[in-house]
Each structure stands twice: as structure tokens, then as C-alpha cells.
Structure 1
Amino acid sequence: MTDVMEQNGSANGAGPAGPEAGAPATGTAEPDAASRIAEIRVRIDEIDRALIELWQERAALSREVGATRMASGGTRLVLSREQEILERFRSALGADGTQLALLLLRAGRGPL
């Protein structure tokens, strides 16, 4: 995976000398804005941790569904179910939702 480049062209948001006093870069020298950005990032990090945990749980459950279905003589995939999931994500999130759903589906069943 590649690093996200910030507008100043560096990967970590710091200038050539690095972030001041080891603090994470916020992209602004204005103290109130920098403080608010740091607060928001704490919540973003919490959400990221929850998303990762939910992603892993969903993938494990999906693999269990597939294994149970195949063990009982069923098919590896149920395309109508995948279409339902794709449509749910597309309706809620647009084109990006479709891409997210495809990644979720692949995480649970593996590549086609």
C-alpha cells in the first residue's frame, strides 16, 4: 500500500525537518485548529479500530457461512446474496460503496 501524500508533498505532513517536537503533523500552525484536528483524529482512530474489528468478524462469519453451505452440498457462492449486498452498499454510499462491498465480499469468500 502506498503512503498518502499531503498537499505539501511529504508523506507524513511534516516539512523537510520533520514535525515539531515529535507531535503529529496537523497541516496548520494555528494552535486552536491544530488542537481540534488532534481531537478529531482521536475519534477517527477509534472508528478505524472498530472498522478493522468488524471487518475481521464479518469475514470470519462469511467464511463460516460458505463452509456450512458447501458442507451441506450447497454452492460455493449465492450470487443473488452478493448482488443484494452490492446494491445495499451502492444505495447507501454510491460507487465507492460498490467498491467497498466488493472488498468485503472478497475478504469473506476469497477471490472468484
Structure 2
Amino acid sequence: MMTDVVESSGSVTRPEAGRPGPGVPSFPADVPGGDDGAKPAAGTGTPEPAAAARIVEIRERIDEIDRALIELWQERARLSQEVGVTRMASGGTRLVLSRERAILERFRVALGADGTQLALLLLRAGRGPL
């Protein structure tokens, strides 16, 4: 599985198999004070053990949240699809634009412009592309 790396410059790089991507230091020579052989704990980006442990803890919680978000996303999409099927089976319209506008507004108010983009993705997941 290929993972994109976003560098501090904001550019995305794709490392080649077996080689670190651009901007990824080779240890220990490229690490400040690297002569002491200190290497970052796997995947944390820091050689400091307490900081690395905290990063691992935080990432475990992030992974839990990601799993919950994925489950909720999938449930929301199923429910939204069921609403659409039920509405159309009863002679209703495929979409209710006032409902979509309300959802877009709710996400925009709570999350700003990114919320609008998220709401658009959620809507599409539930009803398909327009």
C-alpha cells in the first residue's frame, strides 16, 4: 500500500518502495545531534521516549475515532438511502432540496467551509451523485 507524505512545504510526495521519501532523514546522520545514534521511535518522528509514547497514545485515540466515524458514515449512508427508496416508492421526489440545504447549513455553521465540503460528501454518500 502506497502512502502519500505531505512535507512541511505542503507538497505531496510518494516514497519509492524501500526508500524514504524526499525530506525524510536517514538516521542517525541527518538528525540534529544524530551522532549519538538516537532514532525516532517507529513512526512517531521523535527520538524522545516520553514524547513518542504520548504520540502513540494520542494516535490510538485518533484510530478509535476514525473507526467510529467510518461506522457512523456507513450507517448514515444506509439510512439516507432507505429514506430515498421509501420516498420514491411512495411517489415522492428523489431529493428534497430544502433538507439538503439545511444539512449543508448545519455543517457550515458548526465547521465553516470544511463543514460544507464534509456535508456535500455525506449527502453524496447517501443519495449518490446528482
Please, what TM-score do these two structures have when normalized by structure 2?
0.73
Match of 2:99 among 71, 81, 105: 81
Post-superposition CA distance 1:61-104 (Å, at most 9, x none): 00000000000000000000000000000000000000000000
**Which structure features the higher share of helix residues?**
1
Instruction: Tell me how far 1:30 sits from its aligned partner.
Output: 1.1
Structure 1: which 4+ aligned runs deviate by more than 6 Å? none
Q: Does 1:52 align with 2:70?
A: yes
Tell me, in whole angstroms, the C-alpha distance in 1 between the residues paired with 2:62 and 2:111.
Answer: 19
The residue number in structure 2 matching 1:39 is: 57
Mind listing any 5+ residue stretches in structure 2 that lack a counterpart? 28-38
Q: CA deviation at 1:35?
A: 0.5
Structure 1 residue 109 and structure 2 residue 121: aligned? no
Aligned-partner residue type, residue 84 of structure 2? G
Structure number, greater radius of gyration: 2
Determine the structure 2 residue equivalent to 1:96.
114
Identity within the alignment, %: 77
Q: CA RMSD in A?
A: 2.7
- 2-side partners of 1:93 and 1:51: how far apart? 16
Q: Counterpart of 1:3 in structure 2: which amino acid?
A: D
Which residue of structure 2 aligns with residue 3 of structure 1? 4
Larger RCO (alpha carbons 8 Å, 6+ apart)? 1
When normalised by structure 1's length, the TM-score is: 0.84
Equivalenced residues, count: 109
| Match runs of 1:9-24 below 5 Å | 15-16=25-26, 24=42
